[in-house]
Structure 1
Amino acid sequence: MSDPSFPEPPASPLAKALSAAFARHEQDVPVAAALRPAIAAGVRKRRARRRWTLSGATALVVALAGAVPLALPERPRPPAHTEVLLEAGSPDVGNFLLLGTDRRPESAGDTVRADAILLLHVDADTRTVFQLSIPRDLLVEVPNFGIQQMGTAYVFGGYELTARLVGGMLGVRVDGGAVIDFTGMQRVTEAVGGVDLCVDQRTVSVHLGYDPSSGDAAPLRPGMQPVVYEPGCRHFAGWQALDYVRQRRSLADGADDRDAHVRQYLAALARQLGDPVKLARAMPVAGSALDLHLGDVSLPMLAGMFAGYDAARVPGLKLPVGPDRTVLPDGDGLVTALREGTVPAWAAAHPQYVG
């Protein structure tokens, strides 16, 4: 019996044709009649799973919603020239900036930079969220500070200035975003029980090593054996995932490979957050780990926009950058695609930037 709160979707012509053919042959093949109830039960179970499985994007939004009632530390106001003059509250929101900073508890008072910079671009037609990595060493013109690396812009104006620079460079409106540091990333990952990652090349940590006395991982010191991540797919604990995505020195393409690993990690985290139980565990942690920048955009609006997005479809994009560490003219067509809403077609035509 169907659930009236979840009406059955109309059958496709192909489904109707298969059903009719199946019915015609039930009398000729007795086992078919016995199989029909089992098949129907399986279909109902799959539909139920689809109803209750949250998409990765929706899960992230709900996690943010759980964070709102919690008291976040007040941020100092940036200088007037760093304020973002963006329209907010439009139902057509589609670009969100996620910054991962290098703030560490043991380094209080040190200069904090944006270590990972990603623009999440929402394509409503294909119901896909694209992750576009912005290299932290990309050279940009920072008002009043001259040519600087994009990651250093965070030092001068925090999220607001970084969002303004990214939006201006790509010709898009940044509708909101969040900032998280290393400790927050690890805590959220631990809350969902870790993530599954596939190591594409031997990666040697420059941050962690094995303590000879205990065998546990600890900050790397002279004489310690560094932690090494060998190629292959495996489950990563929170500390392992964080350490792995921070590495670049032992990678063939350095920072580019590290950015690809960050995208892989976020896609894996989105899949974990698609589990309602794991999402519930992550919500209180996300509340204290995320520094939210949503402006006038309401969380219900975001949740409605993301509803139905597939956590398994969070493709990564690499920003087209020249040897001078600046964006190629029109981003090799990406800037136009972002502005016109044709990113899926651009990605299909430029596979060298996908992954």
Structure 2
Amino acid sequence: MSSAPEPSAFSAALSAAFARHEQDVPVAAALRPAIAAGVRKRRTRRRWTLSGAVAFVLALAGSMPLALPDRVVPPVHTESLLAAGSPDVGNFLLLGTDRRPEAAGDTVRADAILVLHVDADTRTVYQLSIPRDLLVEVPGFGTQQVGTAFVFGGYELTSRIVGNLLGVQIDGGAVVDFAGMQRVTEAVGGVDLCVDQQTVSIHLGYDQSTEGVVPLRSGMQPVIYEPGCRHFAGWQALDYVRQRQSLANGVEDRDAHVRQYLAALARQLADPVKLAKALPVAGSAIDLHLDDMSLPMLAGMLAGFDHSRVPGLKLPVGHDRTLLPSGDGLVGALHDGTVPAWAAAHPQYVG
């Protein structure tokens, strides 16, 4: 039995057969350009679907063993929303931890917490920052900062708390540490960022003897990021987004820088060539939690989403560091799939 022809040979044979019969079916000649265009369109869509999915997973960027509760009791204002169910939207949790090679054995917290909300109608991904010092109830541990939930129960407990807080189902997510994000960023050749205010590093400084950048020690000149737009190497980008002490609004500004960085990284990963460079390091850099969702399902959900525009949202939080009642309408918008309309009506939380 002869073996099946290679795909390229098969395509050539099919094209030749089609050409032989064009004279018998006049309309075929007119259809050829349309068919060729359709093939190109499907190839492009397939490429962007897959690259978009992996870009999202990569941009999503060992917890303590603990008997976790089946369900965290949500705030009163989200109980009815949870009972009612959710529309066909996606919510993914991205946790950036403060695990660092030089701090092996230290307690690991969730230093950056974002919910990536995929709007089904506009194919837009919204980045919703959850302040790490937001006060929530952690079962068995009382009122705690939400970032500390990772210490008690890792991704699973943090996901339940955040999902119940916002009245949404968390469909999956990822955990990534500083070193992992730096490796991914370096693999794509860095990112373009615009510094909005002078930012002084508390982690890195200049070694006068070598003129290199090393961990900051007493007496050293710290690395300073001046306002303006420029290209950041991997180590610069991660150092920049970790800073908060020199920022006018502290953690709020730091979270805005994280959102800007993830949007810039998503734009880089939209390039299939750069995506291919990032894939080899993604496995060791990112701990995926897709729950019941497979990668093909994720790819389908993210097909055609806009890589160039990843809007950032701030969680409506009161002076007592707790979520405002109904999140000033955000909880309902997340549940109903009306986040674009909510964002347009609440510009103070966008950015």
Task: After TM superposition, give the deviation of residue 304 of structure 1 in Å.
Answer: 0.9
Give the Å deviation of 1:63: 5.4
For the residues of structure 1 that align with 2:292 and 2:259, how far apart are their CA atoms? Answer: 27
Structure-1 separation of matches of 2:137 and 2:36: 54
1:182, 1:83 → 2: CA distance? 30
> CA, structure 1 residues 62+229, in 2 after alignment: closer, same or farther (shift >3 Å)?
closer
Residue of 179, 186, 192 corresponding to 2:182: 186
- Name which of 335, 338, 349 aligns with 2:334: 338
State the TM-score, normalizing by the size of structure 2: 0.82
SS of alignment partner, residue 301 of structure 1? helix
Aligned to 1:252: 248
- Structure 2: distance between partners of 1:284 and 1:212: 36
Matched, 1:60 2:55: yes
Q: Which residue identity does 1:249 align to in structure 2?
A: Q
Q: What's the counterpart of residue 20 of structure 1?
A: none
1:79 is aligned to 67
SS in 2 for 1:331: helix
Cα displacement string for residues 70-104 of structure 1 (whole angstroms, at most 9, x for unaligned residues): xxxx6664323277899xxx993500000000001
Counterpart of 1:278?
274
Contact 1:83 1:160 survives alignment (8 Å): no
What corresponds to 2:235 in structure 1? 239
TM-score by length of 1: 0.81
1:106 maps to: 102
Equivalent residue, structure 2, for 1:122: 118
- Residue identity (%): 74
Q: Which runs of no fewer than 5 residues in structure 2 stay unpaired?
A: 1-31, 74-81
SS of 1:121's equivalent in the other structure is: strand
SS at match of 1:250: coil
The whole-number CA distance in structure 1 between the counterparts of 2:37 and 2:302 is 19
Mapped pair 1:209 → 2:205: yes
Q: What is the Cα-based RMSD across aligned positions, in Å?
A: 2.7
Residue 217 of structure 1 aligns with an amino acid whose one-letter code is V
Contact 2:195 2:227 in 1 (8 A): yes
Structure 2 counterpart of 1:255, which letter? V
Asked if 2 retains the 8 angstrom alpha-carbon contact of 1:101 and 1:181, the reply is: yes
CA–CA separation in structure 2 for the residues paired with 1:114 and 1:235: 27
The alpha-carbon distance between structure 1 residues 228 and 61, as it changes in their structure 2 partners (threshold 3 A), is: closer
**Contact 1:54–1:276 at 8 Å: present in 2 too?**
no
Instruction: Tell me what 2:14 maps to.
Output: none
| 1:274-321: CA deviation from partner (whole Å, max 9, x where unpaired) | 000110111111111111111121110110110111101210000000
Contact 1:56 1:271 in 2 (8 A): no
Aligned ranges 1:163-178 → 2 under 5 Å: 163-178=159-174
Q: Which amino acid aligns with 2:54?
A: A
Which residue of structure 1 aligns with residue 148 of structure 2? 152
Q: 1:306 to 1:47 in 2, by over 3 A?
A: closer
Aligned residues: 308
Deviations 1:101-131 (A, max 9, x none): 0001111110000000000001010110000
Distance 1:63 1:99, change over 3 A: closer
Aligned to 1:310: 306
Task: Write out per-residue CA displacement over residues 219-269 of structure 1, whole angstroms, 9 at most, x where no aligned residue.
Answer: 000111000000000000000000000000111100000000000000000
User: By how many angstroms is 1:214 displaced?
Assistant: 1.1
The answer to whether 1:4 aligns with 2:27 is no
CA distance, structure 1, for counterparts of residue 276 and residue 171 of structure 2: 26
Structure 1 SS opposite 2:96 = strand
- The answer as to whether partners of 1:99 and 1:178 remain within 8 angstroms in 2 is yes
Q: 1:279 to 1:347 in 2, by over 3 A?
A: same
Q: After alignment, is 48-57 or 342-351 more displaced?
A: 48-57
Distance 1:83 1:155, change over 3 A: farther
Unaligned 5+ segments in structure 1 are 9-43, 68-73
Question: Which residue of 1 is the match for residue 11 of structure 2?
Answer: none
